[in-house]
Amino acid sequence: MRYFAKLQGQKEAVPVDIEPLEGSRYRLTLNGQTHTVDALTLDHGAVSLLVDGDSYHVEFEENGDEVGVMVRGQVSRVDVADERRLRLRVGTAGFSVEGKQVITAPMPGKVVKVLVKVGEEVKEGQGLVVVEAMKMENELKSPKAGKVTELLAKEGTAVENNAKLVVVE
């Protein structure tokens, strides 16, 4: 099965081919490189992955086509679409981000640093807020160029999963 993945801040989607093998193993091809992946779903929803013999503990949070992925304490947001959905997006600027964008906490944690102010112009991929979760700091970045219109994050405050932190328009 072919998917297209675009990390937040990237301009182009990258094709990802996944071919099931025996058991819980898969052949994954990304950027022309092929990897063998063994995936085991854990009780609490996380996944233990062996990628070419290297072990990773991965947590996912789905929000429509966007997936929050936490690997080694770093959270990344990835827009994922299969070939059918990608074709449906053609003509609607599929991966471009438009309109008001709400940046939320990817998991419960504490706001340790606010990097912007209300009214500030930001670039796509620019850091907005740093949230500490599970003893790791995660910099949340702007999904688009625009202006910060709301700033609810305050340094030192605790936040819940999906708490609204910043709005960029």
The predicted-structure confidence for 135-155, as pLDDT tens digits, reads as follows: 778 888 888 889 999 999 999
Q: How does pLDDT run across 32-65, given as a tens digit for each residue? A: 899 999 999 887 778 999 999 899 999 888 776 7
Nearest to 106 by CA among 81, 128, 126, 77: 77
Alpha carbons 45 and 53: distance in angstroms, whole number: 22
Question: Could you tell me if 81 and 89 are in contact, meaning their C-beta atoms sit under 8 angstroms apart?
Answer: yes
Identify the pLDDT of residue 94. Answer: 43
Domain ranges of the chain: 2-84, 96-168
How many residues in the chain?
A: 169
Which residue is listed with tokens 């994954």? 28
0.75 cut: is pTM over it?
no
| Domain 2-84 fold | Glycoprotein, Type 4 Pilin (3.30.700)
Residue-wise pLDDT for 74-131, tens only, equals 888 888 877 777 666 654 554 456 788 889 887 888 999 999 999 999 998 889 999 8
CA distance linking residue 152 with residue 163, whole number of Å: 9
Return the CATH class of domain 96-168.
Answer: mainly beta
CA distances from 43 to 26, 29, 59, 108, 167 (A): 21, 27, 12, 19, 34
